[in-house]
Structure 1
Amino acid sequence: MKVSVIGMGNVGSSLAFVLAMKHIVKELVLVGRSRESVLGDVLDLRHGQLFVSTPTQVNAGTLADTAGSDIIAMCASVPTPKHMRSRMELAQGNVDLMREIMPELARLSPDSTIVMVSNPVDVLVHYALKFTGFRPNQVLGTGTLVDSSRFRQLLAEELRIHTEDIRAYILGEHGDSQFPAMSCAEAGGEPLDPTPGRFALFEKASRAGFEVLKHKGCTNYAIALAAAFIIESIALDAKHTMPVSLRVDGFQGVTDVCLSLPAVIGGNGIERVLHPRLNEREQQAFLHSASTVRNVIESVAGEAVT
């Protein structure tokens, strides 16, 4: 299994570390601004191979060295503004960056699965599909996976139930228009009532990334673990169900825009998109998310999306 990580900032280096610990990657190629810029990470990871049971071959590379990758994790991004209030502020710069590098990555690894980590992830998944010409199952983003994890962690504290045993999704945009799908939230088959307190927990979860950003200047551990979870599910054909950013296939009448829905992730990337039963309020929230992301897609490149 060959995995390439593009972009070796805080997220990319954290992801590389997690993947080196996972025992699923035979060859890990790290690509930054130059080979020299990532050598520190490469050497540091190599020096720790004694302490893992299945060593990973870690190399510094350029785009050319990603040829034949099974999975490509896209972590490259323009700099994050110091007081960023919305991930959409990164849209124009990162779409331009994807336009520059995505076609070459696709040419070198036409059968790969691309895991988009960079923001705004929903907009970038849309353009990654456009710039690569890949099939919809080959490109997915981390989407609301971390948002859902944050929400489940808060619910777990309230309910005194292990986080893993709670089924609760935040869906839609990985951004301000996301929403909790409380109509299908449950633990042990018991529905989780949509109380005001739980909506307050959702609001806390939805802003948690910016809270981390305020305190440490970046978010890296949770998103790296989420991206590694996706990569592991692909590498092992595990068929885990998780909310990821993907091209919506007509759900709620939405097409040609990318949002988070639960999907089965396995060896073929997106194996199946699941369509949860949403109540009327949640349906409207999903449509609002679609409109929000579509407006940014259009504004970034003047592309008319129908």
Structure 2
Amino acid sequence: MLEYLSFFLKDLSFSFIILTVGFILGWIIYNNIILRDVCLKEALFTRDNLAVWIEFIGAFVFPVLYLAGHGIKGAASDNIFVDLAVCLGYTIFYIAILTILRLCSKFIVNLIDASDAHGKICLNKEICEQKNVGAALFSVSLSVIFVNIIKFLDIINIINGNGLEILMKVMIFLVFMLLALVCYNLVLRRRTTLFKELFIDNNAAAGIGLLGFVFAVQTIISEVMSFYGMDFDLLTVAFVIAVSLIIFGILSVLFKLIFTNLVKVDIWKEIYEQDNVGAAIGQVALYVGIAAIIVNFIM
């Protein structure tokens, strides 16, 4: 009994150190590098800015803690101090990569080179000054994608010569994620554009819909790749992901049509013309539910 208690206390203190270091490091980077042109403390507590809170929790707190927790899996020795050093190394590496990718999100918006009533669009200013919830949800959506990219990076496996397999996994995830987003944008372009809804119209409902779609798609891709993790075959994994995403798209359209005919309401208009957050949350539930069904069927 005492052995189990001792193991639990060591493991708890081990995890606490890693999570604490990860959180403090993440805060320093997030506050001083990513948001260096705004005052985060003032935006969070003085201005009572919902958009900043959404971005702070979804693009900082959850990703940093998740990656710190993922870093705990990096144990490489029976020596707890060696394990601690390895896990801290993983955590620092993951957060450094997350920072680089987060900085890329600002460049993604800047490359579009568009302007609204407040001038040239800047992601930080949209969130912190204009209180744009849609922009905050766009940032969170990118963070969901970034975290999934980072969690495939295993330093020990790369050192052991499995770097090519890890690169293949990252590329498969990126390719299918980008294809899914392109299809998502093509569907919207029949009547509007995602960028216009998020950054020009400040449409929170559009942001919620995007986040739900990204979360559902990454769930399908990640779970399929995890399922074939022990016997990774590029063509098989790519084929299963492609079929799964096609089924996801077909079922999403079918269930939307069924629901629309039942309640006699145009869901597209509710989300993109009337900015109906409730309708967007309902659409997210549909996306995530269908993704869960597909994943469980594959398992």
Give the TM interval when normalised to the shorter protein: under 0.3
Larger radius of gyration: 2
Q: TM-score, normalised on structure 1?
A: 0.26
Q: TM-score, normalised on structure 2?
A: 0.27
The structure with the greater share of residues assigned to strand is: 1
The structure with the greater share of residues assigned to helix is: 2
